[in-house]
Structure 1
């Protein structure tokens, strides 16, 4: 099953099977700038055109594959950076994949910020980098993680160029048992758009720009494990591992044999040769007992042979309706994906079942699915939760975060918190009392002494929507601009704020003097009267390009948080030097957002790059 389609769901007629759901184009439209067309590799044997490899080197006898299309008579296949000509009509421009030598009569092009793919001696493993990799500073851990991921996913050097449009084929969930409680998948051969996006991101950082040296990421991981004393001294990667190891791995967690027992597992490892895989795995296990069975080019590894024999006969996870529906709702599964049947997992926790049976009943059908995926401008962790029952979460309205001033540096917005707390107050008190937090005692004392009525006053203060904001103007001085905009009853909110000020004064806490602006269905609290007036009216943050990319569905999001790193970088760049500073400047913004509607919810966490 192609990685870019939900389980057991073939591509819609007319769609391209090697393109992910999020990036498919209509057949009558040009491809997006910077992404390759199918069949974009030059076919060997074209009359009058020399065959070239990456970096402009002649490849003798090397026949590149044409992915997704057949070569018909009279249809010329051109290299990257050229147009494909079908008769007299040209279909789109290719991103500038310059091979170092131009083909006669066909000018090659490079478009804007798209990767040029012309790296000289640094290009995808065709030679060694001109300078040694940059040393990581103490604050370079983020870039080190990105570098490791880049090498792991597209490290293969020239193999990356050859296999650019791969990504189809059997996935681990096609062979793992369908009754799994949870599932994790890592794909070192994702769909084409993911590879292109990751390569584009890698070019932005000095620490990853020279990562393409042709190293095998599987060998790099093996060497790391061997160095850390994983008992691999007798294993040789080239002789015992490389001849059979594929690009994908998945893990299924199975139900314990009894309540409170240890869960089972099945590890699916993609293999290219079953006989060599069996010998190599035997050597890896070094006498330890295990079970192994083969299914559709995967080795299924378990704790014993009986479990392996059962796993290979079981209906696959891709036929699990809940799993298939959840992945379909998730969309693009990226390079890393996971799925958990949270309700079933919780049911095997006897402590939870005994202490909070009501909460367990509410989540008994809850499932969570997520994916790590890439775009040329950001990396995203996306997820969905589905199947909750009787949570009484209501139908929260859309977030108001996009209505903040355009000068906003950071903001967070939640809708429906007031309703949730009001409806779930009894359950909150019960859980708090079990943990010894003493919430009930505090609520009683606050009402008797200061007139605060819980949860009613808390519900009023949180309102239908609560949006907090920090403005970029004023951060240099001693009077930063911050505030809150609440969709609520303004008269009741002002009364509650008065009670809180009285409580703080009596407790000796120095409370900031906040400006208060009641409006039509809103109440604003801010650090100054001027900023309160700004928050009280609609602003232009929703039109900001970074905001729109970081919060992809702001008009429908019921919760969101946003930080414009470009507006704040002057405060942290001064503590960085050299490449650490240069790499930090690449970071543009971060946003998390999502929607909650009844039993289902979704979220997106995005880190943007300049």
Structure 2
């Protein structure tokens, strides 16, 4: 389907409204495309866009109330999709100049919002929106920029006389970006530059003046954007400077993230820390040195079945932690929630001298050292050695579906470590709790290079056996490349529903039931990568 396809174009008969029309869809992690022909348009979405779809639904869903969840979700859909997709889909390609193409190249942090993202993002958002009962009632035929303006306007007396249709709509574009810049001259405070896409420079100048911004900020124009800065001289300079898009580090980092989606961000952590006086706030010189060249980039984007926040860190000193892929996929299939982390023991051992140094540099450092010595003598524990043993090569904590409705849920941990040493430490911890009046009996089961600690012997046995959680379709979608991840998290929201659905109203319950699962996966071997996903039924 082309972006120029006229309303009313017919599609072939399709008796299944959930079936999709395949057009070799690019996935969210692939490069954005401006070719509307490469999109996957859900069959129901075609109808939503005003196309004539034989066999489609004729009656709009009944108006339903909504709670906090639907209100939050609706806000995003109003901003991006406008009137059920009518406004946003007026141009499917999502191409054109981005804020980084006009903002200064010496920025040390950048945030971008795109109300006209690539077509695959719009189609995915519409597909997700249709999953929520009542979502169409949250959308209107209004321009989503108007909804955003009215939200900002609020009850502000300075904006009370500003009319959106007359003073804002004629010039306001779809994209905006904010850049944090190094202090000018001998100043200590960072400079800020904002780029707002405009359709008419003359109208934009008049409109911004009515908003009151021109009296307080400098204003210049560049390639279809209004650039606002603290002073007119700064704005003029930014409009002529090399751009952030020309910054090789920025370009490489954002390319590594992939599809920029609806929102994206980038920052140089070392420069931000130095500019904010982090050393004076407690970060020592070695910590600042370790992040000196570290950069962080990410994006919020969508697929038909999930929302995804992807991020990556690059540069800086390479991670020295001995981290191996976690085995969260080998948990029991009945697992409802789990977190698995690798390399914690090695990381704690290497960081312990730095922790001690930071504590001793504190005015109460001697008190800390003495208290730690007394604790070790009193309870027979050795720090950091015992902590390193418990954290081990990897640590996985899990909650099972069985027993959720009882007084004692099945919860446990799998410690990849020396099982004999870990067993002794667990026994000491049980003694400490018993002496404090909070006795806790834990079931343990040693194995080959691991110790399982659980709330019951039965669950300890279950955790010690290789499970099939990784075969779950929800898990595979929520935790991508789990076999390579050095840290991961998974929550099966469908299985947890009995814990929180009971007290909800029917309309809220229907919307919450759309949420399927959540997952996190990543690696800190070399550059740190992270993917956080929320799945929808």
Equivalent position of 2:174 in the other structure: 247
Pair 1:378 & 2:322 matched: no
Distance across 1 between alignment mates of 2:175 and 2:363: 43
Residues 490, 518 of structure 2: 8 Å contact kept: yes
RMSD (Å), alpha carbons: 2.7
Do the aligned residues in 2 keep the contact of 1:129 with 1:210 (CA within 8 Å)? no
- Conserved? CA contact 2:3–2:91, under 8 Å: no
Aligned to 2:71: 144
Q: 1:300 to 1:586 in 2, by over 3 A?
A: same
Aligned to 1:483: 412
CA deviation vs aligned residue, 1:14-58 (integer Å, no higher than 9, x gap): xxxxxxxxxxxxxxxxxxxxxxx5x3754xxxxxxxxx52xx4xx
Q: Does 1:537 align with 2:456?
A: no
Aligned partners of 1:114 and 1:200 also within 8 Å: no
Spell out the pairing of 1:173-188 with structure 2 (5 A cutoff). Answer: 173-188=100-115
User: How far apart in 1 are the matches of 2:214 and 2:128?
Assistant: 43
Is the 1:369–1:384 Cα contact (8 Å) retained in structure 2?
yes
Give the Cα separation in 2 of the matches to 1:121 and 1:242: 24
Q: CA deviation at 1:289?
A: 3.2
Q: Secondary structure at the match of 2:159?
A: coil
1:283 aligns with 2:210: yes
Separation in 1 of the partners of 2:374 and 2:483? 41
Q: Cα distance, 1:205 vs. partner?
A: 1.2
Pair 1:554-2:482 in alignment: yes
Contact 1:259 1:349 in 2 (8 A): no
How far, CA to CA, are the matches of 1:268 and 1:287 in structure 2?
A: 14
Match of 1:273 in 2: 200
Tell me, what secondary structure is at the counterpart of 2:44?
A: coil
Query: Are the structure 2 counterparts of residues 435 and 593 from structure 1 closer, same or farther at C-alpha, using a change threshold of 3 Å?
Result: farther
Task: Say yes or no: does 1:606 pair with 2:514.
Answer: no
- Write the deviation string for residues 192-219 of structure 1: whole angstroms up to 9, x where unpaired: 1100110011111124233443210111
Matching of residue 343 in structure 1 with residue 270 in structure 2: yes
The unaligned stretches of length 5 or more in structure 1 are 1-36, 43-51, 57-77, 84-91, 96-110
Match of 1:493 among 422, 440, 444: 422
SS at match of 2:236: helix
Match of 1:583 in 2: 511
> Alignment partner of 1:352: what SS?
coil
Q: Indicate if the aligned counterparts of 2:49 and 2:89 stay in contact, CA closer than 8 A.
A: no
**C-alpha distance 301-562 of structure 1, shift in aligned 2 (>3 A):** same
Conserved 8 A contact 1:417-1:463: yes
TM-superposed CA distance for 1:571, in Å, is 1.4
Q: Residue 374 of structure 1 aligns to a residue in which SS? A: strand
CA deviation after TM superposition for structure 1 residue 353, in Å: 4.8
1:608 Cα deviation after fit:
0.9
Asked if 1:396 corresponds to 2:323, the answer is yes
Are residues 258 and 530 of structure 1, via their aligned partners in 2, closer, same or farther at CA, if it must alter by over 3 Å?
farther
| CA displacement at 1:574 relative to structure 2 | 0.3
The offset of 1:226, in angstroms, is 3.0
Aligned pair in 2 of structure 1 residues 131, 567: CA closer, same or farther (>3 Å)? Answer: closer
Q: CA deviation at 1:286?
A: 6.5
Deviation (angstroms), 1:271: 1.0
- 2:62 and 2:13 mapped to 1: Cα distance? 33
Distance 1:208 1:459 in 2: 49
Q: Deviations over 1:294-321 (max 9, x none)?
A: 1111111111110011101111001111
- String of CA shifts for 1:528-587, please: whole Å, max 9, x gaps: 222111111210001111111111121111111111111010111001012111101111
Q: Is the 8 A contact 1:250 1:269 kept in 2?
A: yes
CA distance in 1: counterparts of 2:375 and 2:247, whole angstroms:
51
Deviating more after overlay: 325-334 vs 257-266: 257-266
SS across alignment from 2:279: helix
The residue that corresponds to 2:437 in the other structure is 508
Seen in structure 2, the aligned counterparts of structure 1 residues 529 and 131 have a Cα distance that, compared at 3 Å, is: closer
1:115 is aligned, of 35, 39, 44, to 44
CA 1:297–1:450: 2 relative to 1, 3 Å: same
CA positional deviation for 1:93? 4.8
Distance across 2 between alignment mates of 1:539 and 1:80: 45
1:487 Cα offset (Å): 0.8
| 1:124-523 correspondence runs (5 A) | 134-136=64-66, 140-156=67-83, 157-164=85-92, 166-229=93-156, 231-257=158-184, 261-285=188-212, 288-350=215-277, 352-353=279-280, 355=282, 356-389=284-317, 393-433=320-360, 434=362, 439-511=368-440, 513-523=441-451
Question: For residues 105-141 of structure 1, what are the alpha-carbon distances to aligned partners after superposition, in whole Å with 9 as ceiling and x for unaligned?
Answer: xxxxxx9975343259999xxxx996785443xxx22
Distance in 2, matches of 1:354 and 1:571, equals 42
- CA–CA separation in structure 1 for the residues paired with 2:528 and 2:94: 29
- Do the aligned partners of residues 222 and 351 (structure 1) sit closer, same or farther apart at CA in structure 2, a change above 3 Å counting? closer
Pairs aligned (count): 507
Q: Does structure 1 conserve the Cα–Cα contact (< 8 Å) formed by 2:45 and 2:126?
A: no
Matched, 1:573 2:501: yes
SS at match of 1:115: helix
1:553 is paired with a residue of what secondary structure?
Answer: coil
| Whole-Å separation in 1 of the counterparts to 2:63 and 2:363 | 51
Secondary structure of the structure 1 residue equivalent to 2:405: coil
Q: Comparing both chains, which one has the higher relative contact order based on Cα–Cα distances under 8 Å and sequence gaps of 6 or more? A: 2
Please give the secondary structure, in 1, of the residue aligned with 2:323: coil
Tell me how far apart the structure 2 counterparts of residues 239 and 435 of structure 1 sit (CA, whole Å). Answer: 61
TM score, norm. by length of structure 2:
0.88
Structure 2 unaligned residues grouped into runs of 5+:
15-20, 25-39, 53-57
In structure 2, distance between residues paired with 1:169 and 1:510: 64
What SS is found at the alignment partner of 1:261?
A: coil
Q: Residues 425 and 230 from structure 1, CA distance in 2 versus in 1: closer, same or farther, beyond 3 angstroms? A: farther
Residue 223 to residue 505, structure 1, CA distance change in 2 (3 Å): closer
Deviations 1:254-307 (A, max 9, x none): 112367722111110111111211121122126623211111111111111100
